[in-house]
Amino acid sequence: MLIRGLSQLATPAGRGAPLRGKALSEVEVLEDAYILCDGDSIAAVGRMSDLGPLPGDVREIDGRGLCAIPGLVDCHTHAAFGGDRVEEFSLRAGGASYEELHARGGGILSTVRATRAAGEDGLRVAVERHRGWMRAHGTTTFEAKSGYGLDRDTELASLRAVRDAGGVPTWLGAHAVPPEFDGDADAYLDFALTEVLPDAARIAEAADVFLERGAFDSTQARRYLEACRDAGLALRLHGDQFTEQGAIPLAIELGARSVDHLEATGDAGVRALAASDVVSVLLPASALFLGRPMPPGRALVDAGAAVALATDFNPGSAFCESLPLVCSLAATQLKLSPAEALAACTVNAAHVLNRAERIGRLAPGYRADIVLLDAPDWRYLAYHLGGDLVAQVIVGGELR
Where along the sequence are the contacts to Fe ion (CB under 5 A)? Answer: 312
What is the C-alpha separation between 7 and 69, in angstroms, rounded? Answer: 11
Nearer to ligand NIG, 237 or 306 (CB): 237
Q: Which of 162, 157, 155 is nearest to 127 (CA)?
A: 162
Buried b (16+ CB within 10 A) or exposed e, 150-166: bbeebbbbbbbbbbebe
The CB-of-78 to ligand NIG minimum distance in angstroms stands at 6
Q: What separation in angstroms does the CA of 298 have from each of 17, 20, 29, 399?
A: 19, 12, 23, 36
The CB-of-217 to ligand NIG minimum distance in angstroms stands at 15
The CB-of-210 to Fe ion minimum distance in angstroms stands at 8
Nearer to ligand NIG, 237 or 370 (CB): 237
What is the C-alpha separation between 167 and 122, in angstroms, rounded? Answer: 17
The CB-of-314 to ligand NIG minimum distance in angstroms stands at 5
Q: Which of 295, 384, 387, 286 is nearest to 336 (CA)?
A: 295
Count the Cβ atoms, other than its own, within 10 Å of residue 199.
14
Residue facing Fe ion at closest CB distance:
312
Q: Which does 210 bind (CB under 5 to 8 A by kind): Fe ion, ligand NIG, none?
A: ligand NIG
Nearer to ligand NIG, 24 or 225 (CB): 225
Nearer to ligand NIG, 19 or 323 (CB): 323
Nearer to Fe ion, 212 or 312 (CB): 312
Q: What are phi and psi of 315, to 5 degrees?
A: -80, -15
Q: Which does 378 bind (CB under 5 to 8 A by kind): Fe ion, ligand NIG, none?
A: none
What is the C-alpha separation between 162 and 78, in angstroms, rounded? Answer: 10
Q: Where are the beta strands (DSSP E) in the chain?
A: 2-12, 27-38, 41-47, 60-62, 67-70, 72-74, 139-145, 168-174, 206-210, 234-239, 258-261, 279-282, 307-309, 370-373, 390-395, 398-399
Site of interaction with ligand NIG (CB under 6 A): 78, 107-108, 111, 210, 238, 241, 286, 312, 314-317
The CB-of-400 to ligand NIG minimum distance in angstroms stands at 27
The CB-of-155 to Fe ion minimum distance in angstroms stands at 16
Nearer to ligand NIG, 78 or 137 (CB): 78
Q: Which does 131 bind (CB under 5 to 8 A by kind): Fe ion, ligand NIG, none?
A: none
Q: Contact, 62 vs 4, CB < 8 A?
A: yes
The CB-of-78 to Fe ion minimum distance in angstroms stands at 6
What is the C-alpha separation between 150 and 175, in angstroms, rounded? Answer: 8
Q: Which does 108 bind (CB under 5 to 8 A by kind): ligand NIG, Fe ion, none?
A: ligand NIG
Q: Which does 173 bind (CB under 5 to 8 A by kind): ligand NIG, Fe ion, none?
A: none
Nearer to Fe ion, 67 or 247 (CB): 247
